[in-house]
Every structure is written in C-alpha cells, then in structure tokens.
Amino acid sequence: MKRTLIHNATLINEGTRKQGSLVIADGNIAEILTEGRPLSAPCDETIDATGCYLLPGVIDDHVHFRDPGLTHKADIFSESRAAAAGGVTSIMDMPNTNPPTTTLEALEQKQALLAEKCIVNYSCYFGATNSNYTLFPRLDKTRVCGIKLFMGSSTGNMLVDRMDSLRHIFGGTDMLIAAHCEEQEIIHRNTEKYKAAYLEEAQIPLNKHPYIRTVQACYSSSHLAVQLATEAGARLHVLHISTAKELPLFSHAPLDEHKRITAEACVAHLLFDIRDYKMLGACIKCNPAIKRQADRDALRRAVVEGQIDVIATDHAPHLLTEKSGGALRAASGMPMVQFSLVSMLQLADKGIFTPELVVEKMCHAPARLFRIDRRGFIREGYHADLVLVRPHTHWQVTRDKIWSKCGWSPLESRTFDWQIEKTFVNGHVIYDHATGVDDTCRGEELRFHA
C-alpha cells in the first residue's frame, strides 16, 4: 500500500495548532505525527509542507452547480474543478436545476450526474414543493443531505407558499430542512412600488435591490421558519442569513446533536455591503440581497459568538450577459466556491476571525451538522480530505485564474495573502498550485449517519 507523508506542516484542527506531519494511506489519514510521535513505517513519497498550514478540506453545504439543464452557466465538472482549486473537498448541491430535484427520478438522475462528473465529494438536496412531502419517507437518509425549502423564490421556481404544505414539510421528516427565507408578499409589494416609481423596469438601479428584498422580508420568513420548526421539533438550517435583525432568532449554543435550529452565513454577505454595489453592481446581486455595513458586521460577530454555525458560499454562477437589466432583471447569484477559503482566511488576517474559527465553521461544523461519515476533521481513520495553504504569499485574482465556467468573479482584482497549495480528496492530489487541477479522479458520495 502506497504511503504518502505530508511533512512538517502546521496542522489546524479542532481548535488547536500543532507542528507535525501526517501519513496518507489507502485514501485515509493513517497517522498523525505531532508532539514528537515518530513514523511507524517508511513512506513511498514525501510532500514538503514547510511553511504551510494543513487543514481539513472545506465542506461547502450550499452550491448551485446548475446541472442538469442550466449547463450554459456552469456544470458539475467545471464547478467541482473550481472547488478543488479553492480547497473545497465536499459539496452539497441545490435542487433548482432543470428538471428540478423534486421527484425520485430527478434525484436519481442528479446522483448519477454527480458520480460521473464531480471531482470532489458530493451529495445533493431533495427539493420540497407544495405537494411532494409524501415522498420524504422514501428518501435514503444516508445519501441525501437534506430537504431544500424555498420560502421565497429565487432562480428556478420552487417556491413553497402554502401554509398547510409548510406544516406538512416541517412535521413530516426528521431530515435536515435547509431553508431559503424571504417573504414573498413583502418582495412583491416593494417590486410594484419601484416599478411605479420608474418609467422603465430596467432603470431601477442595483442598489435598490436590498430595498426590494428587504430586512423585513428576511426576518418575517426566518421567524416563521423557526416558529414552525420549533412547534414540530424539526431540524432547521436557515441558509444565507443576511441581516442583523434575524440573529436573535438563533442560539449561541455550541453545535452538537441537541442544536436543532442552526444558521448559515455566506461568504458574500460576510465580505460585501451596500457600498459595494457602486463598484460591483450586478456582480454582487444575490438573494437575499447584500445589505448594510451594520448587517455585515453583525454577521461577522455572530460567526464568532455562535449564532452562525456554518460558513458556505451559495456558489451560484450566471453568465455576465445574464447580469444586466438593473435591480429587477439581472440574474441573482455569483460564483464563489474557488475563493471562499482564502477570503475567510483573509478576514482572519484582519483579526476578525482566527484560522481555527474558519476551520470550525467551514470544515468541522458542516460535518457535525449533517452527521457526515468520517470527514471534516483531521483524525486517524478519516478520509484524507485535506488542504495545504501557504500564508504570506501575495497574489491577485485575475480572469485567467478562474476555474468556474462563467469565467468571472466579483473578487477580480482583489489580492490575497493565502494561497491554496494542494487539495487532497480521498488521498489524491486533485489540485496543485504548480500544475493545476487533476480531473482524472472522481469524488465519493457523502454518507450520513441517520
């Protein structure tokens, strides 16, 4: 059996930072050599990691790889390559594709596509509709990461807007329900107001987006979701929290098996605020909208204090040509999976987070929350999903470095001081800064403890 030694790294794992080495054998972490522990047997290959940090690979619980049906924007192969280049070793794909993942047949088709095309590890959500909750008992809880519930419409029409359906959904499953929360009535009212105020719809400027999809729209919907989940005792994960106002709905309690209601923040809401519309315009238009600086800062604090459990990307690529037409017509969503880890480590450099906290929220927490089998931690016997990052480098995001099919990023021209050196998935090096992505291997399907 081939043994690979990652030699002399700084391991960041489970709140600690230790100098040491690690042995990969048969796709797993075979030995962790810290605190002077010697190798048990010689290795066939040594990777010198001097000066680098070794982290568990990022688990992104919220991506839209647009496959099947929207593959002019992105596909599983292209976006999993971008994930690999970003140190992301597992992804959970959303169901608003074409066809949507709302039937057992579509689910089977999505799982087959992921197996065929995804170079990182994967799972996918089953999408709720107003009427398909009768299928929930037939889902394999060890293979499907959760139920995606749109309590607010976005790309693809999967809105669940009937109260009786919502009660059936929350009362009908012990699977994790991941919810997009924005109250449709409020958005509709604001849309009509802005349409009346401008001669042409296309003239409504981008910076009105957060005044159409408002704080109140988010709060009202998140509040309802938390209320329904509490009544039913359901497991609720509210996706992409974007406002300070929603944060008191969530508990500071540590993420363990007793925490049934959890929250996600996305990289864009942690990086940008309303002032950025001036420079970046539609490139940072997403749902829920990027809001005020006070919201961004409150989200950052909530990551530290614990109301936000998970950091993900909501990686949602569109072509740049689909990004025109102002606040109402420009497509919502942006590619982010390739730069999520370096963006958050950059916030650690600014003293906002620590690298240990970034690892907790991007690697450990998704593994705990979704009860993923043997991933998300650097532990002996776990799958060797790892990322080697080099600090104190200085580089700039330019178009030629982008792996996503859409070919643009809202982070273009930004500089970073952290570089993804190597990404390991199940022990294979699938990204190397020197040589690029190796897309010959395929990821494995994530397994969940029910």
Q: Which two tokens stand for residue 375?
A: 């991933």
Least CB distance to Zn ion at residue 328 (A): 19
**CB–CB of 445/91 below 8 Å?**
no
Nearer to Zn ion, 93 or 314 (CB): 314
Taking the complex as a whole, how short is the minimal distance between the CB of residue 63 and Zn ion, in angstroms? Answer: 8
Q: Which stretch binds Zn ion (CB under 5 A): 36-44, 260-268, 312-320, 373-381?
A: 312-320
Looking at the Cβ atoms of 66 and 81, the one nearer to Zn ion is: 66
Stretch that binds Zn ion, among 119-127, 254-262, 277-285, 306-314 (CB under 5 A): 306-314
DSSP 435: T
Give least dist CB 151 to Zn ion, A. Answer: 13
| Residue 444 interacts with Zn ion (CB under 5 A): yes or no | no
Which one, of 373, 357, 379, lies nearest residue 309 by Cα? 357
Question: For residue 283, how many other CB atoms are within 10 A of its CB?
Answer: 22
For residue 184, CA distances in Å to 30, 159, 213 come to 51, 9, 9
User: What is the Cα–Cα distance from 298 to 292, expressed in whole angstroms?
Assistant: 10
Least spacing, CB of residue 314 vs Zn ion, in Å: 4
For Zn ion, give the closer residue by CB, 43 or 316.
316
Binding residues with Zn ion: total (CB under 5 A): 1
Alpha carbon distance 393, 69 (integer Å)? 39
CB of 64 to Zn ion, least distance (A): 6
Among 75, 183, 264, 314, binds Zn ion (CB under 5 A): 314
- Position closest to Zn ion via CB: 314
Cβ-based nearer residue to Zn ion, 315 or 383 = 315
In the bound state with Zn ion, the residue whose beta carbon lies nearer, of 62 and 422, is 62
Contact predicate 318/331, CB 8 Å: yes
For 171, half-sphere exposure in the C-beta direction (CA atoms, 13 angstrom radius) is: 7
- 383 vs 55: CA distance, rounded Å: 13
| 183 sits near Zn ion (criterion: CB under 5 A) | no
Of 289-297, 304-312, 314-322, 376-384: span binding Zn ion (CB under 5 A) = 314-322
The tokens describing 406, both together, are 């859409």
* Residue 26 Cβ vs Zn ion, minimum distance, rounded to whole Å: 35
**Minimum Å distance from CB 66 to Zn ion?**
11
Least distance between Zn ion and beta carbon 282 (Å): 17
Instruction: Name which of 181 and 387 has its Cβ closer to Zn ion.
Output: 181
List all residues 6 or more positions away from 246 whose beta carbon is below 8 Å from its beta carbon: 218, 219, 222, 223, 238, 263
Minimum Å gap between C-beta 123 and Zn ion is 15
Q: Which stretch binds Zn ion (CB under 5 A): 105-113, 158-166, 310-318, 405-413?
A: 310-318
**Residue at 97: amino acid letter:** T
The token pair at 411 is 């982070």
- Residue (31 or 314) nearer to Zn ion, CB: 314
Contact 324, 412 (CB under 8 A): no
**Separation of alpha carbons 56 and 15, rounded Å:** 12
Judge whether 98 and 401 are in contact, CB under 8 Å. no
**Please, what is the angle between helix 76-85 and helix 104-117, to 10°?**
50
Tokens standing for residue 289:
């909208």
Pick 180 or 405: Cβ nearer Zn ion: 180
| Residue 62 CB, nearest approach to Zn ion (Å) | 6
The nearer residue to Zn ion, 166 or 334, going by C-beta atoms, is 334
* CB 283 within 8 Å of CB 329: no
Binding window for Zn ion (CB under 5 A); candidates: 83-91, 308-316, 351-359, 430-438: 308-316
Closer residue to Zn ion (CB): 86 or 156:
156
55: β partners: 387
Residue numbers at the binding site for Zn ion (CB under 5 A): 314
